[in-house]
Structure 1
């Protein structure tokens, strides 16, 4: 949110507990008789995967000193005129409870955290803001005189003038509390001083996060804010963060900024949340629809996996698949359901069509797996220990199955990946050991050539028939791991093969070079033939795991390699990282005839790719897992490996010539990325698993932001994270990129006896792509002292673009000499051109 002519400091309070609580010293809160309507969600960039928070006015429900309060899983927040009281409760599970058995959970006494403002107004005015629809009613007992009804609820609570010219505002969502200090023009944020009671120690960690440590109950983490100003439509990044003084009080330090404009403190990581229960949970697939709603699928052994509007409310076997859909504004789970029978299930991939139907594939060992309108209504091998693949199509609201079917034969069959076309026809690939796997007439390969071949299947829109189904493989082991569609409905598949006779056509690499290679194969629309098929690998071992196709049909692939001679072209990393395995990333022409680029990606440890996607600009995005502390990063959210293994998320420029973004993501436990998706706005969604705690770090440290579920439910949970790559953390590391020419034109006020204002620079470039130019950041530096005067990010494509640059600081008269030289550096991410020099006189006019 923005306040005109005010400065806003937003602090995020993340709790690491769960379960309801009562506050000592205040009346235990009765439960309302009806569901409170949801608050309108905050802006998408600052809140996602969150349940809306609402504040109740106190009309006798609790201690009279409390004016407003709110509750959520694991916390209650009580606002009095002089302090905010946060009560936290977590469950302590009994020792040696099996993960697949219901736990007799014991509720600990709540931990109470009090927040006081030092030197603040003792009698501020409290007022509810953003009145929400609906009222709260308490009809407790049979005495109507004790009932409370029509209690108003609000989205925000404001304390006016806690310090002169400074307000304090509480708001947020059910799982994530936020508070803003709203600093008026001319006021000093350094007046703000906070004392926390109920903590044993305050610390700032290496990332600038504020840790409120409690001996028995854990840690409250307030993550370091991302601070910026919007000036003349341009985002200016301001340095700053928390400080702790010698008396243990918390305040803010903020670098120089324009005090007449709003100052926004906002995270780059849009959201990150756990998803799971007391057992083990993992997410293997993620998808996003054209309205930004998020779909996740995986497996769970938890009896208490969070469900909402479930098709199947309880776990049926020792482990079930699950499917979850979240609202675009993050306000709720639209649905979350178990899916399975009395055996075991794993969902491995999910896709979504234009109408919001979810398509899921994986494997099931349950003969009673739910089926509907099935092309194969019974398990292929009865009660045998072998699993069948399954395919399900779920209604947009999750209330029913459009279809659900087994897919398999006498052996073991697994659906590894799924895609859907514009008409709602589903395509999947996987692997099978069944000699009788269902195939269709006139298909490319109707018989299995080895104990295990890949398969490719296309189902009709209603799931009642196979449009085509084919084996794909040779006389050794072949596995299909990924599938993607082009605009004509041709399916391109990636996987791994150990077959010297894997079928090829117009191959980029015609022979198997190692013990196993990746393969990339594209089928015709009807599945009757290959349009191209090739090996891809080196002399040791390689495998393909993920594939994407852009609007022009170009093919993006990723996988693993332990071959130092894996084929590369225009690589950003030309050599093997010397660990146990690296990721490879390769882009092929639409007909498979050539490599556009191919590169290693990794460090001295071990890397494993999971999947790849491509955004609207043709940038490839990859996720997976890395053990390497020297994994290559660029403009990272998290610059260092935090545990033995972390998630990585990496973005390549269109031509593969550089990394635009690359980051670790993880905590001190074991974390792995399993799937990645991109929406129409270029925002990135990642899912996987996190082990959270370890023996050396018993408190989970996976980065959590605006979390639907802020605490780890068991030993292992799924995670979901969303990143907005348009918000970049800029720095001043410069390196030459190319040649260019600059001419400049100034207004008369900004430089030389300068006051805060703006000027423009006209830049003309040579040898620069539009993709590079669209991500320019201009910096104007004082040549002698190196002080940054002005910043501007972004700019239109094309040569001769005009950039308006706000002056961040003022220089006194006489501080700049006539004809003093300045430089302009044109920065792209972590790199820039060599500085170009120009001079100005004391009036700020250019000297030719």
Structure 2
């Protein structure tokens, strides 16, 4: 028979103003219960230091003391060095004691320690040697056995607070529980919101609402439980008895929490996760002392500028194992100036990508990077609190690490000549929270392409042609980037913004890989809002408005865009999508009209955090709500956001007085919270029901003394609802941030701050499908086992579907491959005990056998590009495409191809001794459009046009021009037109693929007016040159040119024109019937400015002896004097001349130089006296 225990859990929490540590602890996670070996009074069995006091466990009760917290505030309480202060400590500290008696308890109950500590303690108190004790043991918990008949009591700790488990053993037969707790010494006692509140002279103490459950058949089942208070005596009641049918109650778990262990000051910024549940954290490090691992890419601090007297920063990155007990790798990343991390993401190979900013021109970049040159910008000045100073301006950096952290697989600068990647808005309302300068997000699509959303002040940012916004419209604009996985190619890049400052903070890819971005804006007139935006088409005014924009995956068009805000301050910090492609946003507001509450049963009016669910096309709100304390301003700065597989909404943020007076006080907390008390300076985590009908779960998390926060950056949830959160912890040298047993570092080893990272599992019952793809050998047949690693809660059904038709319902799929190729494997997991019930995952396995295969053809439009090949993520494989100029890369599995005509591409895939050949054809779709027209007798007659194409069966859209001559049928293949004269009609035809084709037809008028056409040869001349005019005509009886003294003969059909400035010449003609027509021709006179076009200098030459471009010459017809010099990268003079006839042959000291980039300086004087000075680069190529 299975034993059934009833546990009643009580958590004691000390409340006060701003909390401060009064306890000593080594782990700062678990309280230490020290055995009494006669060093204390004999009635004490164990003692533990708790926040602001101590607890003494006795035979039939316990006593706890509490000190006045504000007095401890003056002991130590600081943040970053720019905020340090050293106050005077008070002469005395006020305390209060309360005793709890176990009424009617067993006076002979056995009391024993549990989980003994490795260390021991020595007490030498005063001169009385009988009170001295050595080798005193300590424990993480204490158990009272049979304290009441059939009932045990376990005392341990959670989140630095004492916790009491009353355990009612199986087969307990009494209807009522005998547990009676009598309180003595308090100023007052009452039950409030189910919790027991004790008032004392130094602050309040709360014993949280009792939480009771049973474990039945391996599942935790809640049992309703409550306090009963009679005078000063407390008992428990179970109003529904032992009922096994109650729903499962979520018991959230802190999987791990750890400090970085850095001895240097180390601020926390960003965190993420990988497929194995490992955690990654990145922060700033002020000097040597970050705990790097052997073989890591950069084990030493590279220097920095810093703020004031503070050492500069490098980025510090650590990869932790899934339990936080081991550093898998830890490395610096940086150059000689300052840099900061903003956002992290991991690809399908568990390779970490970092988005950051740098002021270092020697930041590590790789040879084939998109941009290997630091572009810089003006110094934005030091950032208060962050401790950095970007004296050279800022560039975006994107870096890709190997999975073991030993190599930079790719790293690149991205930017223009302004500051890039930083929110440097001129107004503080787009920098509302502390460290909002360091926002933005990086993401990855199914093909492992990289997306980045951030800000820029550059007007010359490397945007791509044809995107939806090619120009910076003013000030700070958002910027969106799509790059390939090797960071060598910009797939597309576009600005997003208006006439004033605009900032993008987050992005999300929907099911079609279209892109949502969000942020805040001050732009009113020119921010790109789509005409079909039914949500909010105009800026509501105020300090800032939020915005949401949906961008087509090609980057060519905005599909939908809307404001979302009020007449107060509003910004949107994160955007996510659910499985139905609905969009969710979370933001801050100072609105007090409850504008953001709509169709949501759960809401906290007048609160500063809003969450809104919107239809995919941004047309209307599904629901919207606000969460907070109700004080009319934001409470927390958002750091992580998720919509899980059940459409539950997760939000994490921090509140602290350093962040624009943010605070976590009075935020809503649910029963069973991990921690339901706060000092106002903590992290807050909340889960909202999918329909906003209720707050599913919420809790605080943080230090009882320090101002917990994160310095900008993004942290992440996994789709299973596990949070990976970076923290700037322990500032002021404090070590009381909650950590887990065995963590990499349970202490803050720096004199100020340490980056902490914690992994928090909300244990929400979600079905999450996943499996491991084995690595096949080069041998057939091959029997593969696909290990099912799905997350399920109950009895689950599994369906495996292979692309070759094989299916199985086994837990693990086993299949014997007999043919090579790329196979798609789909796993469908069904578990009706979870909220989403079903989840699906698809992966590929590549079977090699020295064979050849053909991938399906891909069809594109002319001048378009497409991604070809096979998906990434296959281990231990190398790729080599046969060279083709239309491929952007030849060493990846899925390059971009942009052929001009239909092309067959060949890929060689190698694993070990196997090399398979894979071919794929890209068909460039071409079509021809022909147009016919009926006859027109006279000018103005109606004519029917008729367009046909060479490939019927397409869905076509027609656009005719000139549109003013279309009488009817615009948009069809047969419009009716009315040409007043011979007219060429053009039709632009677009098919269902978006390909466009053009057709033309000339409509002739039978009875014509004279046709007159005046031309010039050439139309553009240089000053003092001549142009030959010519009258071309038909049916002309007489003609003459209007008088102009610059014409040689006004009665000639081919006069010479010698204008001194741009001139319009007009010819008048008549036919035999006296019908008059005229025409004009313009002759443009051009005088080339010497500075802009009078001097030509190539940017590259090839001194390889082939007689072509072997010597670098300056060429100009207008230069009268010059000085031209070439320098190498170290500034050494390679060549100089003052003679145009003398060029540089690529040698120095008579010896040929290797390929490289050289700098040049040119100063020249032109024939008009203008002086030209140029500096730049010249490439020597061999």
Query: What TM-score bracket applies, with the shorter chain setting the length?
Result: 0.5 to 0.7
Task: Describe how 1:413-812 pairs up with structure 2 within 5 A.
Answer: 413-414=420-421, 416-497=440-521, 498-508=523-533, 511-515=537-541, 516-527=544-555, 529-538=556-565, 540-541=567-568, 542-563=570-591, 570-572=598-600, 582-583=609-610, 585-589=612-616, 592-602=617-627, 603-607=630-634, 610=638, 611-625=640-654, 627=662, 633=668, 635=670, 642-644=678-680, 647-654=683-690, 656-661=691-696, 663=698, 665=700, 670-671=707-708, 675=714, 677-689=716-728, 704=738, 706=740, 708=743, 714=752, 718=756, 720=758, 722-724=760-762, 726=764
Counterpart contact for 1:651–1:662, Cα < 8 Å: yes
Q: How many residues align?
A: 676
Counterpart contact for 1:522–1:531, Cα < 8 Å: yes
What's the CA shift for 1:660? 3.2
Are 1:412 and 2:453 counterparts?
A: no
Counterpart contact for 1:558–1:586, Cα < 8 Å: no
Question: Which one has more relative contact order, counting CA pairs under 8 Å at least 6 apart?
Answer: 1
Counterpart contact for 1:124–1:159, Cα < 8 Å: yes
Match of 1:326 among 320, 332, 343: 320
Give a deviation string over 1:576-621, Cα, whole Å, max 9, x none: 9557x553534232xx241233535152242165253211112232
> 1:641 and 1:160 mapped to 2: Cα distance?
30
Task: Describe how 1:10-409 pairs up with structure 2 within 5 A.
Answer: 186=172, 226-231=211-216, 233=219, 235-237=221-223, 239=225, 268-271=251-254, 273=257, 275=259, 282-301=267-286, 311-312=298-299, 314=301, 320=313, 321-373=315-367, 374-381=369-376, 384-409=391-416
2:758 is paired with a residue of what secondary structure? strand
What's the CA shift for 1:460? 0.6
> 2:652 and 2:159 mapped to 1: Cα distance?
30
> 2:403 and 2:573 mapped to 1: Cα distance?
29
Unaligned runs of at least 5 residues, structure 2: 14-18, 31-74, 83-101, 119-139, 182-188, 198-204, 378-389, 422-438, 656-661, 767-831, 837-1182
Counterpart contact for 1:574–1:599, Cα < 8 Å: no
Change (3 A) 1:126 1:720: closer
Change (3 A) 1:583 1:468: same
Q: How much is the aligned-residue C-alpha RMSD, in angstroms?
A: 7.0
Give a deviation string over 1:730-783, Cα, whole Å, max 9, x none: xxxxxxxxxxxxxxxxxxxxxxxxxxxxxxxxxxxxxxxxxxxxxxxxxxxxxx
What's the CA shift for 1:624? 3.4
Counterpart contact for 2:479–2:495, Cα < 8 Å: yes
> 1:573 and 1:427 mapped to 2: Cα distance?
36
What's the CA shift for 1:178? 10
What's the CA shift for 1:412? 0.9
Q: TM-score, normalised by structure 1?
A: 0.57
1:413 is paired with a residue of what secondary structure? coil
Counterpart contact for 1:409–1:436, Cα < 8 Å: yes
What's the CA shift for 1:504? 3.0
Change (3 A) 1:338 1:157: farther
What's the CA shift for 1:339? 3.0
> 1:345 and 1:3 mapped to 2: Cα distance?
59
> 2:484 and 2:363 mapped to 1: Cα distance?
21
1:519 is paired with a residue of what secondary structure? strand
Change (3 A) 1:422 1:13: farther
Counterpart contact for 2:268–2:726, Cα < 8 Å: yes
What's the CA shift for 1:492? 1.5
> 2:479 and 2:587 mapped to 1: Cα distance?
19
> 2:563 and 2:757 mapped to 1: Cα distance?
32
> 1:278 and 1:205 mapped to 2: Cα distance?
46
Change (3 A) 1:653 1:269: closer
> 2:687 and 2:77 mapped to 1: Cα distance?
43
> 1:100 and 1:631 mapped to 2: Cα distance?
29
Change (3 A) 1:307 1:242: farther
Change (3 A) 1:172 1:578: closer
Change (3 A) 1:604 1:17: closer
Residue 763 of structure 1 corresponds to: none
Change (3 A) 1:177 1:354: farther
Change (3 A) 1:6 1:256: same
> 1:96 and 1:568 mapped to 2: Cα distance?
37
Give a deviation string over 1:44-73, Cα, whole Å, max 9, x none: xxxxx9999xxxxxxxxxxxxxxxxxxxxx
Counterpart contact for 2:109–2:146, Cα < 8 Å: no
Counterpart contact for 2:643–2:650, Cα < 8 Å: yes
What's the CA shift for 1:463? 1.6
Counterpart contact for 1:614–1:621, Cα < 8 Å: yes
Counterpart contact for 2:467–2:557, Cα < 8 Å: no
Give a deviation string over 1:613-669, Cα, whole Å, max 9, x none: 211112232333565789773736669783446544343433x44233363525666
What's the CA shift for 1:362? 2.5
Change (3 A) 1:521 1:796: closer
> 1:343 and 1:386 mapped to 2: Cα distance?
10
Counterpart contact for 2:669–2:699, Cα < 8 Å: no
Change (3 A) 1:620 1:796: closer
Counterpart contact for 2:191–2:227, Cα < 8 Å: no
Change (3 A) 1:174 1:394: farther
Larger Rg, first or second structure (1 or 2) = 2
> 2:329 and 2:208 mapped to 1: Cα distance?
29
Counterpart contact for 1:429–1:456, Cα < 8 Å: yes
What's the CA shift for 1:229? 0.7
Change (3 A) 1:122 1:540: closer
> 1:205 and 1:718 mapped to 2: Cα distance?
36
Counterpart contact for 1:628–1:641, Cα < 8 Å: no
> 2:473 and 2:193 mapped to 1: Cα distance?
54
1:607 is paired with a residue of what secondary structure? coil
> 2:594 and 2:179 mapped to 1: Cα distance?
57
Q: TM-score, normalised by structure 2?
A: 0.44
What's the CA shift for 1:554? 1.9
